[in-house]
A = this chain, B = another copy of it.
Amino acid sequence: MGAYDAAVIESTANPRIKAIRRLHTAKGRREAGRTLIEGPNGLEALRSGALRPTDILLLEGDMDTAAYASAVGVQAAVVSQDVLASASDTMHPHGPLFVVEIPALGAVRSRPTVCLVDVADPGNVGTIVRTAAALGWDVAVHGSTADPWSPKALRSSAGATLRVSVAISSDPPADASSAGLASVALVVAGGSNPRPSELPVLLLVGSEAHGLPAAMVHAASDAMTIPMSDDVESLNAAVASALAMYALGGGAFFGGSQ
């Protein structure tokens, strides 16, 4: 099936387009169990991951996406720029757009895992997921952490969310214990210097504004602080998480099953 065998949608009121627009909100994504991923990076991420899209929109002439749709057996729809703009979560979409099912989030496993505790900014969440995927870490989310499956977080992850194991943790230090992981709280001051860990680690990363809850730092096996200037400097949350993962792993990539 080539691009020109695809359906053509010319109205923003088309039910298929309306169903996609509902995925712009957290409520809509939760109800549908689906989200959006867009652009050439989205296509790249889907090609190299295990998820299959359930719907695809493309602009006329986008042969790459048409070939991919054909390969995975999804009937794509060719849409106008206006319809794409209506379906897209971005301001100036160039297509393509994919709908994917949000995988069921599992439990914390016995692997190096970065646990996001109330991390508020979707860009930081996505960037941390991207770093975790590149360095071979799992991801866990806790509390009020921004949805890693929102289109904005997915964009910042460069699609890495499709390739990484994401767990939900209701009690991170306890979950670490059950999984045989050391829990390490990343704190802005007062923790020990980063060093490679002998055990796999559940790394706890707190909110940009308030850090980790004191009780969670207290319950963790250890606390770690990145050495920094004495000025009032602090690090971006995604940068601090990256340095912590890198240091705990001794600079190594952790391969392993997804």
Contacts and interface: CB of A to CB of B under 8 A. Distances in A.
Contact of A252 (B133, B227, B230, B255): B227
Contacts of A243: 242-243, 246
A82 B192 CA distance: 47
Interface string A126-139: 01001101111000
A103 interface: no
Interface in A222-256: 226-236, 238-239, 242-243, 246-247, 251-253, 255
A134 B233 contact: yes
Contacts of A228: 134-135, 253
B242 A227 contact: no
A144 interface: no
Nearest to A136: B229
Contacts of A44: 232
Nearest to A232: B48
B229 A135 contact: yes
A252 B48 CA distance: 37
A57 to B, nearest CB: 23
Given A236-B127, A239-B127, A239-B239, A48 B231 contact: yes
A158 interface: yes
A196 to B, nearest CB: 11
A163 interface: yes
Contacts of A233: 130, 133-134, 160, 163
Interface of A: 44, 48, 127, 130-131, 133-136, 156, 158, 160, 163, 193-194, 226-236, 238-239, 242-243, 246-247, 251-253, 255
The 9 closest A-B pairs by CB, nearest first: A134-B233, A134-B228, A227-B253, A239-B242, A48-B232, A127-B236, A243-B246, A134-B235, A131-B239
